[in-house]
Chain A
């Protein structure tokens, strides 16, 4: 019965609705940061709940060919993958760090595949930038995951959270000493920069509606609403992964759950700051910095952690 319940949470309405609803709140947090810093912005690329509902109620204009099939399948697959990842972090299903990484990689990769198969040449122009943005998350996060696993000597998500509940954050825990702590700190910085890429915030990520030649130009109707919902879900789950890796703690009491939420909000506030102050940066240059900087930070963190753990 418990397994059926977990399946129901994963596949059916409640689980995906939860991450989308919280994603709407996450978007509100990042937008509020932008408004606080730079004033109100009439962004045509912002995904909001009314926009999702409006898209869901609009006719789906046939795109033709494989794209029409892909635009129905890809966002559903993406939302389910993100939902599964959230289930692992929230303890509904077992899973290890590798599975979590693969799920998020598959979710983000579905957008890249969608860009490559589009018959619209202007959308296909976004394919390689999308792939670069995916690499800007994938490469650093692989190294970050290895760094955390090396530091804590655990590979499952539940064991990692339990380890942090017992030993504290990997940044300051005793095993490994100062060198390992510095390594984990560098990994944290790399994970943060990588999260900017996967959440489609400026400058590394491109918004779904950032035109001309936006990724969603040929999508309309309910598939567009699903893509919007997946974007919001990723905006919640990606910071949740960062909190889980570095700032997890017990969640047995209601106030501890609130602490988790505050940590996620803290990461979202920082992401919102990066989003608003980087709005005029050239995407290709920042992508190079993103992959180079966050990748280098993650690699340095992994090496320092290895040195500290071995000592």
Chain B
């Protein structure tokens, strides 16, 4: 079998991957990566030689963000990648629900794996999304840590996470459960993900609540309770060459009542459709 990339990466190549991932970290507005990477690109755990890859390229998306004044269509530049050293890994993926993730693969077998994760939590609401939120305090991304377990069974992947705020930003925690499947249709790779994301009351209130000191007639004070958001995603990727992938995704999030009642939001759900050309090195 022809090897298109050497099994042992040069020091120069590893340094390039690390630098690229550092740039991706700075460019990402959110931080943390999940089952979307595994179901699309394959398992990223023990057995992987040290090294990784960088991904970048243009991304065109259209989304219905349930916030008044939020942009619906956008063209941006995606930067991401994956780097592994021994059992430590750094994963940046704009296609994942979680964007950037620093972790340690504690256990790995053909059937399941366990990772210890640390990442920057989702900031959620801030005035970069819409000028309407100019008087609302930005929700700062905080550091969350926890465990992730993944089960592999043929084309099926099940993943569970439990992560808690360790920075003291909101003292909340989150748990997620997802099931994903991959299909190969000629050289098209299709995938589907369904899942649920639970956020504790403190976590949900930090993102979607409105404190008394930031309340206004437009955005009255609101205290959010715990929430469960249901997420679905379908996607198709096609390798145009060894270094170029065409990637398409459609996401739909059904928001929980606790989130829908937030005065910051104007709708019950979130939808995004996106297409990207991804260069992989």
Mutual binders A and B: no
Interface residues, chain A, CB within 8 Å of chain B? none
Give B contacts to A, CB under 8 Å: none
